[in-house]
Amino acid sequence: MRITSPQNPRIKRLRKLQDRRHRRRLGATLVEGRRFVEEALAAGRTVRQAVYTEAFAASPAGAALLRALAAAGTELAEVPDRLLEAVATTETPQGIVAEVAVDEPAPVGRAWWGRVETAHLPLVLLLDGVQDPGNLGTLLRAAEGLGAAGAVLVPGTVDPYHPRAVRASAGACLRLPLARADAAAEAAASARAAGLQVWLAEAEGSTACWDVDWRQPVLLVVGNEGSGVSPEVAGHATGRVAIPLAGGIGSLNVAMAGTILLYEAARQRALRSAAATRATEGD
């Protein structure tokens, strides 16, 4: 099938997905470029439709992906370059744009914590007002890569299915278990009730990140780029954790700080596992 009119209903639908209201209504997001569409498919997501250019279909890797999509029941259409550019959110779209079905994050609560607690030593990220889609995506990518069991989002945090968040997450937002809460304090209280410690990432935090014992169930709270973590969360906090910085000139943004804290947790946990393995081998 070939579409050439910008008025075609499928093209109009893809353009709507640039807007959060429509993403929520349609339960879908835009995924752009071969690698990210491949990852969505590999993550078990339904790729409802995709449009691609003639050059994309002519490339061996492109043709292989189109066959896999056709086999999965995706509606496919070839479009002129200018139409692909019109539906894409990247300046240089890489030959294919797809509508991928996503789930609204589940409400945080006993059922969700039960799911997360099946993870060994759950480490969960609470995103409390992160506004930049690039930062949010980077944090989800770090969370997945460094072994977090999931992430909780609250109003004031950008949509995890914003196309730029999807890209920055390298698809992690399509794989990592996500939950939502009406407020950060509610999520923190819920985590405490489920047996997790609650650590707030704050530039002025009083505990150095390497002095926190991360080898237990933890909710790590990262806040807004400007104003940090919501004050209401403090009542539920185990403590405030900071990354000691050099000099006093340097600073880190929320994505870098969150990545470092997730790494520190992963490092401590890996070394404990290694020690446990050595102890067992020593028996």
Q: Which residues bind its own copies (CB under 8 A)?
A: 134, 138, 141-142, 144-147, 170, 172, 175, 208, 210, 243-247, 249-253, 255-256, 259-260, 263-264, 266-267, 270-271
- Could you give the 3-state DSSP secondary structure of residue 74? coil
Q: Measured from the CB of residue 138, what is the shortest distance to its own copies in angstroms? A: 7
Residue 183: phi, psi to the nearest 5? -155, 155
Instruction: Report in angstroms how near the CB of residue 242 gets to its own copies at its nearest.
Output: 12
Cβ(278)–Cβ(222) under 8 Å? Answer: no
Q: In the complex, what is the shortest distance from the CB of residue 87 to its own copies, in angstroms, rounded to a whole number? A: 21
CA 153/CA 162 separation, integer angstroms: 13
Which residue lies nearer to its own copies by CB, 3 or 266? 266
Give the residue with the Cβ less far from its own copies, 101 or 119.
Answer: 119
Q: Which residue reads 């002519």 in tokens?
A: 58
Q: Which two tokens stand for residue 222?
A: 């990262």
The minimum distance between CB 208 and its own copies, in angstroms, equals 8
How far is the CA of 171 from the CAs of 17, 190, 198, 222, in angstroms?
A: 17, 27, 27, 20
Q: Residue 76 or residue 266: which is nearer to its own copies going by CB?
A: 266
C-beta neighbour count of 199 within 10 angstroms: 24
How far is Cα of residue 114 from the mean position of the Cα atoms in its chain?
20
- Minimal distance, residue 279 CB to its own copies, in Å: 19
Provide the Cα torsion 208, 209, 213, 216; round to 10°: 140
- CB closer to its own copies out of 73 and 248: 248
Nearer to its own copies, 4 or 251 (CB): 251
